[in-house]
Each structure stands twice: as C-alpha cells, then as structure tokens.
Amino acid sequence: MGEKMKFLSRGPDETQVIGFRLGGLLRAKSVVCLYGELGAGKTTFVKGIAQALGIPEWDVTSASFTIVVEHDNDIPLYHIDLYRIEKDTDIDAAGIWDYIYSEGITVIEWAERLGKVLDDFIKVKFAIIDERTRDITIEGIDEKDWNYM
C-alpha cells in the first residue's frame, strides 16, 4: 500500500508540519509506526498529527513514562511510546495490541520494539542529518492522497 514519500525537515517546525499533513490523511483504525533514534523528532511529529485531529499540541508530550497516553477526540488518538518496553510480554501486559486493533488512531514511538509490524501500518523513519535537519521517510500512504494535503 502506498509508496515511499521522502521529506527533508530543516527544524522542529517543519517536522511538525509534516506530521500535520499526515494527520490529515489518517482515519479510524490507522496505525502509524515511528522509527528513529532519541532526539530524531518523533514526539514533535506526533504533535503535528494531534494538531490535525484538533488536539492541542501542548497536550502531546513524550509518553515514555506512561507508555500510553489517550487523547479523547471524535476519533481517539492513542500515543504509545515503547522506549521503556524491554520484551514482548511487557507489550502484551500493557495492552498495546488492544489499542492497535481499536477504533482509534494509534501512533507508536519506538515501533521496532513491537517485534512485528503489519503491512497495513504506516511506517515513518527519521534519520538525523545534523542538529536541526532530519530525513523523514513515510511508507504506506498513496502519493496521490498526499498531494491533496
């Protein structure tokens, strides 16, 4: 599903705008998996997605300490951060799969810790170029849909 879309972000504001554009394409049951090292811009990107859904950006913070933050909305946004998850049993115990298979929109930071990623998930990869610049690759969105944003 979809092609690889590549973006160059020259700072947090641009990263947030790219997240906002993706957020405008998400529907109930969408799952977005984020990959990238610490400080790559994953939480900033989630702020953009939340904004597109009508959730104030200041409501979005790193979910590292809580693992899951639920944002009530017309379509709920589940912001999951697996940074502190160490094994599959922790994922099961936290009920992560229940969120993924819910009616909401699920965004997962550190998605590589899921162990498996399904083909219908949207994958977003962040590569740090320098202090401000990020290479962002999004897979799983049709280019024609993206162009309408």
Q: pLDDT tens per residue, the chain (149 residues)?
A: 567 899 999 999 999 999 999 999 999 999 999 999 999 999 999 999 999 999 988 778 775 566 777 777 788 999 999 988 877 677 777 788 888 889 999 999 999 888 776 778 999 999 999 999 999 999 988 766 666 55
Residue 96: phi, psi to the nearest 5? -60, -40
Inter-residue contact 123 to 140 (CB < 8 Å): yes
Give residue 67's pLDDT: 73
Sign of CA dihedral 99, 89, 32, 42: positive
Inter-residue contact 77 to 107 (CB < 8 Å): yes
Distance CA 6, CA 47 (A): 19
Joined together, the tokens standing for residue 60 give 């979005």
Strand order across the 31-35 sheet: 3-9, 134-141, 122-128, 31-35, 105-109, 77-81, 68-71
- With a pLDDT cut of 70, the percent of the chain lying above it is 89
Give residue 106's pLDDT: 95
Counted residue by residue, the chain has a size of 149
Cα 63 off chain centre by: 12
What are the residues facing 107 on neighbouring strands? 32, 79
